[in-house]
Amino acid sequence: MVKKNRNLITGGSGFLGSHLSKRLLEKGEEVICLDNFFTGTKKNIQDLIKHQNFEIIRHDITEPIQLEVDKIWHLACPASPIHYQLNPIKTAKTSFMGTYNMLGLAKRTSAKFLLASTSEVYGDPEEHPQKESYRGSVNTIGVRSCYDEGKRISETLCADYQRVHGVDIRIMRIFNTYGPNMRFDDGRVISNFIVQALKGNKISIYGDGSQTRSFCYVDDLINGMILLMDSNYINPVNIGNPNEFSIIELANIVKELINPNLDFQYKKLPKDDPKQRKPSIQLAKHLLNWEPKVELRNGLIKTINWFKKNM
């Protein structure tokens, strides 16, 4: 009888964690969802709770935990500016102590370990598009640094646990991702635009809307995550969609899909908000034979339909 992998997903009830949980269960694997439900919600995993291979543990990863697992998918950390700036010290502590505790668990159990890092490690980039070799331009004392620097020290811990203790690590730098199970109040640009448009409100544009982002649909992202975990590559890999859109272009697409009569409302640009964000995914293409398949307009239609059903 083939042994089932026992997967631990920190942040397993969050946006990405819930999609990953579902995918692994569909593959016949066991999943332990570890979450303190700060930003995650049981609603995201409601359909999975009765699954015989699914287990939920309410736990804060800044405290150690003893489990027996084969793979650790370390996704836990508030990821939207509204949530990670709400308690910046806790965010930094989650990135450092949480990653430290999970790497200790990986060391003890000889589990494979994947860190969900972020494109925010590049800060407000001076290189475009951003390759994995780029070391970033981060304000170490800014309002976003609790997350940006938190993820950078998470990567450092992973690399040192690999070098010192031989832990089998993967580092995934995630670029803007969207899709079903996003929180309505997370302050991210796509959820903001969709919620405002569905309510018939003006769409808020920060700055003049010329800043750019690249948006990856969640199904594509999860495909890349699983391929990376299954690889033998221990250095950082960008996973994101390289198709670049200005914020005003995105707003116009959302407006067209929901209500063409809506107006825009321009607001002050937040401090340290990156002007450009676009991944180089040449490494992911070469290493994993991965690239995103879902075009922005098609992904937005799926996401808008989910928001309509769940608002």
Whether 122 is catalytic? no
φ, ψ (nearest 5 deg) of residue 116: -85, 90
CB 274 within 8 A of CB 123: yes
Burial of 50 (0-12, 13-18, 19+ CB in 10 A): exposed
List all residues 6 or more positions away from 164 whose beta carbon is below 8 Å from its beta carbon.
Answer: none
- Distance between CA 110 and CA 85 in Å, rounded? 34
Q: Judging by DSSP bridges, how do beta strands 71-74 and 6-10 pair with one another?
A: parallel
H helix runs in 57-210, sequence order:
81-86, 88-93, 99-109, 145-165, 189-198
Radius of gyration of the chain measured on its C-alpha atoms? 19
CB 298 within 8 A of CB 304: no
Angstrom CA distances, 120 to 148, 206, 240, stand at 5, 18, 13
Cα 17 to chain centroid distance, Å, stands at: 9
Residue that is written with structure tokens 């990953």 in the block? 20
Among 84, 122, 147, 161, which one carries the catalytic annotation? 147
What residues are labeled active site? Answer: 147
